[in-house]
Structure 1
Amino acid sequence: MTTSLTRGRPPLLKVVRPQHSAEGGQGRVALLFLIPTLVGFAAFYVYPSIRGVWLSTTDWNLLSEPGFVGADNYAELATDPLFWRALLLTVYNTALNLVGQLSLALLLAALMHRLTKSVVLRATLLLPWLVPNVSTALLWLWLLDANLGFVNQLLDAAGLPTHGFFNAPGEAMPSVAAVTTWASVGYVALLLYAGMLQIPGSVYEAAAMDGAGEVRTFFRITLPLLRPVLALVLVVSVIGCFQVFDAIAVTTKGGPINATKVIYYYIYQEAFTHFRMGYASAMALSLVVILGALTYLQMRIMRASSSDLG
């Protein structure tokens, strides 16, 4: 009976209500979580950068209103011998750090990769990097003190001449580089070690079957396949070395005789000692351009975007 009553009626249409796509909802939620980060980025990175560009074209001295001077600061920068000396000293410090850090870090990473995978050892290597830079600089300032330092006491006890590590113009910069290398080499070694773990073990097995020794395997297999990680480490290390300030401020304060007045310390002095904030901003902006160009060259030369494992 039910069938006869409903046979002539049109079928009921199901009403489909429009729903928001899941992707759109997720995008709004993601944007909601990103808002605090974007606000912080705009407040602490974008705005100071724009203001720094503006200040580099002024004669602001922190005490009066900035006056527009155009490109005068950059013209003075081009003929400032102290700026170019500071830049050369920064390059010298970077070269010392790169040689020390990469050599020791590659050695430590290779030893961990081929001999031991101890978590305790990896944590121990990371400890110097976790210590604040100021504390590290103070520690080594006391250890290398010309009169009471533990290192000079050991040299004197062994009948060797003592050294004024931070007081001699020829030894000050290598001493600062040694301190920063000691603090960073563990972190760099762990980055390289993580890269080595990505190399398939079958590659090493094939090399061993061909009779390749450890040294030959390292230079013919490990280093070439480690190129993307090496490029990353090189870029990060160069930027970090150009930004060295803590160790200089604590140990040598740019001396002796400006032997360690690197570019960051020179910018600091011009800004907060001589109150030439406009000139310091011009130097800082020039340093950004230099680091950007160096980073681009390193990434292109090292072919960081490609891997031989692919």
Structure 2
Amino acid sequence: MSTATTSTRSAPKRRRHKDDTKLALMFIAPATVGLLVFLVWPLLTGIYYSFTEYTTLTPPTWVGLDNYAALVADPVFWNSLKVTVLYVVINIAVQTAVALVIAVLMQRLTQSTILRSLVLTPYLVSNVVAAIVFLWILDTQLGVFNIFLQWIGFDPVSFWSSETWVIPTVALVNVWRHMGYTALLLFAGLQSIPSHLYEAARTDGAGEIAMFRRITLPLLRPIMALVLIMTIIGSFQVFDTISVTTQGGPADASKVLQMYIYENAFGQYQFGYASALSVALLVILMIITFTQYWLSNAGKSDLD
């Protein structure tokens, strides 16, 4: 009897697992409230307003699909969409190519943290400040760049007032600002590629270009797809650079969708129609995102 009692007392007690559910809910509550108040509620409200006529002076009046019918027949909307797509194509093509080159150079040629940090420096400058600086630099009469062009024998270029040059100019200004951040994302993806693959390829006599085509690009595909989705969504939302420099001119040549939405909402106080334009932009971005995700097989990796 005593032996059994002793063994019972010496047996270790099972530790109860503490329920951390309440603590976890406390930590995620602020983010959840912020998500609901600043994202979900405005989204639902905007969708509702898109079916109404709302000018802030009178209560919203339900008009059904009238705003969307007006949108389809609106030539300014289609021009803004065309201008936005042109901007996105130039911005994404140049930005991705330059950022990929920078990321590969950072991985292959340098281990300096200082140099890698300097690449990110333009991203620390706000869009408004960058737009103002380049507005001065590229000014037709007093801009440093046009003075340089005249010094080497070329005529000055109207970067901000030419229908031909304005969108490429805005796109390249934003390429300068965002390429460092994009390069950093791609560099993080390059770090996940096993180094022994490059060593084996180098042993077989492969050069840098061959390794880039056969190892780097295929294995970087999931990260590249994610980066493209993020940058395309951000490019479709361009506003501040154009608002500071051209305000949609000349002759609507730089009036992107965000600028047209802003003009309808805060210039003409047509919040119902502006909401319909915003919902149309949301649908466009959703279609582009899911299509790109599906075509690129972003959810699969060649390393698996």
Q: TM-score, normalised by structure 2?
A: 0.94
The match for 1:59 among 53, 56, 63 is 53
What is the CA–CA distance in structure 1 between the aligned matches of 2:110 and 2:78, rounded to whole Å? Answer: 46
Q: 1:232-276, CA deviations, whole angstroms, 9 ceiling, x for partnerless residues?
A: 110001001100001110111000010000111110011111111
Q: Is 1:216 aligned with 2:207?
A: no
Bigger drift between 180-189 and 40-49 goes to 40-49
Aligned to 2:161: 167
Q: Is 1:287 aligned with 2:284?
A: no
What is the CA–CA distance in structure 2 between the aligned matches of 1:89 and 1:225, rounded to whole Å? Answer: 34
Q: 1:183-220, CA deviations, whole angstroms, 9 ceiling, x for partnerless residues?
A: 00011111111111111111001111111111111011
Superposition pairs of residues 1-310 of structure 1, within 5 angstroms: 21-22=17-18, 25-310=19-304
Provide the secondary structure at the position in 2 that maps to 1:148: coil
Provide the secondary structure at the position in 2 that maps to 1:291: helix
Q: How many residues align?
A: 301
What is the CA–CA distance in structure 2 between the aligned matches of 1:271 and 1:19, rounded to whole Å? Answer: 60
Letter of the structure 1 residue corresponding to residue 56 of structure 2: L
CA RMSD of aligned residues (A): 2.1
Kindly state the Cα deviation for residue 80 of structure 1 after the two structures are TM-superposed.
0.9
Letter of the structure 1 residue corresponding to residue 180 of structure 2: G
Letter of the structure 1 residue corresponding to residue 232 of structure 2: V
Letter of the structure 2 residue corresponding to residue 205 of structure 1: E
Provide the secondary structure at the position in 2 that maps to 1:165: coil
Letter of the structure 1 residue corresponding to residue 233 of structure 2: I
Provide the secondary structure at the position in 2 that maps to 1:87: helix
Kindly state the Cα deviation for residue 111 of structure 1 after the two structures are TM-superposed.
1.0
What is the CA–CA distance in structure 2 between the aligned matches of 1:118 and 1:253, rounded to whole Å? Answer: 41
| Structure 1 alignment gaps of length 5 or more | none
What is the CA–CA distance in structure 2 between the aligned matches of 1:185 and 1:159, rounded to whole Å? Answer: 31
Q: Percent identity?
A: 44
What is the CA–CA distance in structure 2 between the aligned matches of 1:18 and 1:209, rounded to whole Å? Answer: 56
Kindly state the Cα deviation for residue 19 of structure 1 after the two structures are TM-superposed.
9.1
User: Which structure has the larger Rg over C-alpha atoms?
Assistant: 1
Q: TM-score, normalised by structure 1?
A: 0.92
Bigger drift between 116-125 and 174-183 goes to 116-125
Identify if the C-alpha distance between structure 1 residues 55 and 157 changes in structure 2 by more than 3 Å, giving closer, same or farther: same
What is the CA–CA distance in structure 2 between the aligned matches of 1:104 and 1:296, rounded to whole Å? Answer: 25
Q: 1:96-116, CA deviations, whole angstroms, 9 ceiling, x for partnerless residues?
A: 011110111111111111111
| Structure 2 alignment gaps of length 5 or more | none
What is the CA–CA distance in structure 1 between the aligned matches of 2:16 and 2:276, rounded to whole Å? Answer: 50
What is the CA–CA distance in structure 2 between the aligned matches of 1:36 and 1:185, rounded to whole Å? Answer: 33
